[in-house]
Amino acid sequence: MIAYLGTGLLGKGFVRALLAKGHQVNVWNRTRAKAEELAQYGAVVYDTPAQAVAGAQRIHMTLRDDDSVNEVLQAARPGMASGTVIIDHTTTSVDGAKERTAFWKDAGFTYLHAPVFMGPPNSLESTGYMLVSGDRKVVADMMPALEKMTGKVLDFGEETGRAAAIKLAGNLFLIAFTSGISDMLSLAKSTGTPVSDITTLFNEWNPGAALPARLRRMASGVYDSPSWELAMARKDAGLMMAEADKANRPLTVIPAAAAVMDKLIAEGWGNADWSVIAKDNL
């Protein structure tokens, strides 16, 4: 039997998928009504975490943060049998994942942090990506069960907390990417460009396809033979900010990037490939 603690958008999909695969699933959620939505699919709803985990061989969690994970696990502890496996899908700090792994091991339980890159449809359809790292035996033992919950499990090795770090790095990219799109829409508004024209551009031009190569270039530390000189990129960033300022629509991401470009140009990197902006982060 499986217990699931936290039945928000992702948890709800995971529970339904587990039930569809024939598992018995006990559920708990801080707002009980969200857990009760799953009763129609066969989940058994409980009032407390301790009640939900009683008799469970495996506990899955999707909560808000480190504090909520720690709080809910302590509340669940009276119902947990020795040796119970805890699989935590919450996005947390690196130190939090490390500390919980050690704490629960000392207490006689197995804790594995397995954050995900999934939306609600992925958790329901068992697609998307799940990340793991840490004790090799624990990962190997849990891999068959985790592989049934997602499209692919990415194993980042034996270092506890590495999966948490990779999850944060990925989420950083998503935030920066979305913020960049927001800046682009703001610039379009500033210049009177309809969003439909921006959509037309990206229906044809897919800069995302160049992402792996761009990452390799930035991580290489080699910035000669530029495809776009840093000084020219900075010139264009200035044009973008000027257009936005004229329309009183200040940008969010571009000014910060321009400040980094200015620093590097002052250091003599103006003729280097613009990917040199990563130089001080390697």
Find, among 168, 131, 146, the residue nearest to 60 by Cα: 146
Q: In angstroms, rounded to a whole number, what is the distance separating the alpha carbons of residues 25 and 39?
A: 10
Cα atoms in the Cβ-side hemisphere of radius 13 Å centred on 2: 21
- The token pair at 65 is 């943060």
Q: In angstroms, rounded to a whole number, what is the distance separating the alpha carbons of residues 56 and 54?
A: 6
CATH of 166-281, one of 3.40.50.2000, 1.10.1040.10, 3.30.465.10, 3.40.50.970: 1.10.1040.10
Boundaries of every domain in the chain: 2-158, 166-281
The low-confidence residues of the chain, meaning pLDDT below 70, are none
What is the pLDDT at residue 282?
87
pLDDT single digits (tens) 175-187: 999 999 999 999 9
- The token pair at 35 is 């857990």
| Beta-carbon count within 10 A of 228 CB | 11
What is the pLDDT at residue 280?
92
Fold of 2-158: Rossmann fold (3.40.50)
DSSP conformational letter for 282: -
pLDDT single digits (tens) 8-46: 999 999 999 999 999 999 999 999 999 999 999 999 999
Q: What are phi and psi of 235, to 5 degrees?
A: -60, -45
